[in-house]
Amino acid sequence: MAIKFGRPIELRDAPKRRTALASPPLDLTIRPRRNRKAEWARRLVRENVLTTDDLIWPLFVVNGHNVRTPVASMPGVDRLSVDQAVRDAERAAKLNIPCIALFPYTEPSLRDEQGSEALNPDNLVCQSVRAIKKEFPDIGVLCDVALDPFTSHGHDGLIEDGKILNDETVAVLVKQALVQAEAGCDIIAPSDMMDGRVGAIREALDAEGFGDVQIMAYAAKYASAFYGPFRDAIGSAKTLTGDKRTYQMDSANSDEALREVELDIAEGADMVMVKPGMPYLDIVRRVKDTFAMPTFVYQVSGEYAMIAGAARNGWIDGERAMMESLVGFKRAGADGILTYFAPQAAEKLRERE
Ligand code: PBG
């Protein structure tokens, strides 16, 4: 008598049942599994590929020299002093990663209500852009435009009576973009979600002789819990008062994302972005299908932390989960991905060559 879970099964009952092994082959001419029979066959029918050309690598910069401080909530990610950011830019260049993105950890003493440090032509971001461009002029450098790394309250804009001011903030963002363009930045990426900022920045860039500087708009950016580790990294987690729901999008909305993207394109965005990534793949697909624009997706800090953290604990195969998540973005229609996994993924892709 075979003991199964629950009711014991008498062996002599067996012939009456059709076990899988005993049943004859089904009469099927179409068998999708045929195309999956071997790796060479799977490669032949593969619909989407990830290449290093798809990657943008975000870096965190901090004061000092020869500094690499780990970000606790992002295992494997460090805050880098400018000289070390240059070394990572070199790594990116060697790995053939086309572009890096820069985010500063601003000293608390330099943060104020207005985020004035954003307009300092010698702030950490500008220093990094100059140092990286000097050694590696051929790598693309993207700079975020928003005030949160610089404000004492951690918001992306100016506040009055607890309200984030739109038009006043846009005026400051325009100046921030110009300061970064002056430093040599290639792509300006407004992440603040103020209305009208893309048009205002475009106009100012053109007027000041930066007609070649591109704009990648964080067009559909959601108010998300997945930004938590990033706020640790730039030191705004503790200072942030309230949340960002009056300017970042409600995660329940999808049509609204199309309206946001449409406006940014009309205002002159060269590329658009959806952020976060994994919980918003449907948005990536809709945006790509609707506008056929260069469409980017940001696999944000919390997504990185989930994969890297689980991998570190041995709960998932980190490398496979990384590659699966990245090709998922390609499948959803993304032309490129901002991801903290960029160097690991590029190394993995190189192994395959
Ligand atoms: C700043 C900005 C944020 C991110 C990129 N730019 C955080 C936020 O909006 O609070 C998040 C990136 C990440 O989580 O990796 N406006």
CATH superfamily, with its number, for domain 52-352: Aldolase class I (3.20.20.70)
Question: pLDDT digit of tens for each residue in the chain (353 aa)?
Answer: 344 454 444 555 555 555 566 788 888 999 999 999 999 999 999 999 999 999 999 999 999 999 999 999 999 999 999 999 999 999 999 999 999 999 999 999 999 999 999 999 999 999 999 999 999 999 999 999 999 999 999 999 999 999 999 999 999 999 999 999 999 999 999 999 999 999 999 999 999 999 999 999 999 999 999 999 999 999 988 888 889 999 999 999 999 999 999 999 999 999 999 999 999 999 999 999 999 999 999 999 999 999 999 999 999 999 999 999 999 999 999 999 999 999 999 999 999 87
Gap from CA of 186 to ligand 1 centroid (Å): 19
Q: List all residues 6 or more positions away from 62 whose beta carbon is below 8 Å from its beta carbon.
A: 69, 79, 80, 81, 104, 105, 124
Q: Across the chain, where does the E strand assignment appear?
A: 55-61, 68-70, 78-80, 99-104, 140-145, 158-160, 163-165, 187-190, 214-221, 271-275, 295-299, 336-339
Ligand 1 atom index nearest CA of 144: 6
**pLDDT of amino acid 238:** 80
| CA-wise closest residue to 144 among 87, 61, 206 | 61
Pairing of strands 78-80, 68-70: antiparallel
* Half-sphere exposure at residue 312, Cβ-oriented, CA atoms within 13 angstroms: 11
Gap from CA of 227 to ligand 1 centroid (Å): 6
How far is 89 from 65, CA to CA, in rounded Å?
16
Q: Are 180 and 126 in contact (CB under 8 A)?
A: yes
How far is 300 from 169, CA to CA, in rounded Å?
24
Q: What are the Cα distances from residue 61, in Å, to 64, 71, 270, 309?
A: 9, 12, 26, 22
Active site includes 288? no
pLDDT tens-place string over residues 273-304: 999 999 999 999 999 999 999 999 999 999 99
* Half-sphere exposure at residue 42, Cβ-oriented, CA atoms within 13 angstroms: 6
Mutate to test the pocket of ligand 1, among 227, 278, 303, 339 (most ligand atoms within 8 A of CB): 227
**pLDDT of amino acid 3:** 41
CA-nearest residue for atom 2, ligand 1, is: 191
Q: Coil, strand, or helix at residue 151?
A: strand
Query: Model's pTM, two decimal places?
Result: 0.93
Mutate to test the pocket of ligand 1, among 79, 125, 148 (most ligand atoms within 8 A of CB): 148
Q: Torsions phi, psi of 70, nearest 5?
A: -65, 145
Gap from CA of 24 to ligand 1 centroid (Å): 57
Gap from CA of 30 to ligand 1 centroid (Å): 47
Render 213-224 in DSSP notation, one character per residue: -EEEEEEEEB--
CA-nearest residue for atom 10, ligand 1, is: 227
Q: Where are the alpha helices (DSSP H) in 276-337?
A: 281-291, 301-312, 318-332
| CA-wise closest residue to 278 among 314, 259, 316, 306 | 306
Tokens of 315: 């709960």
**pLDDT of amino acid 241:** 84
* Half-sphere exposure at residue 50, Cβ-oriented, CA atoms within 13 angstroms: 28
How far is 288 from 282, CA to CA, in rounded Å?
10
Looking at the DSSP bridge assignments, the partners of residue 338 are: 56, 298
Q: What are the Cα distances from residue 316, in Å, to 83, 94, 96, 302?
A: 34, 29, 28, 16
Q: Which of 133, 244, 275, 330 is catalytic?
A: 275
CA-nearest residue for atom 11, ligand 1, is: 227
Q: Torsions phi, psi of 11, nearest 5?
A: -60, -35
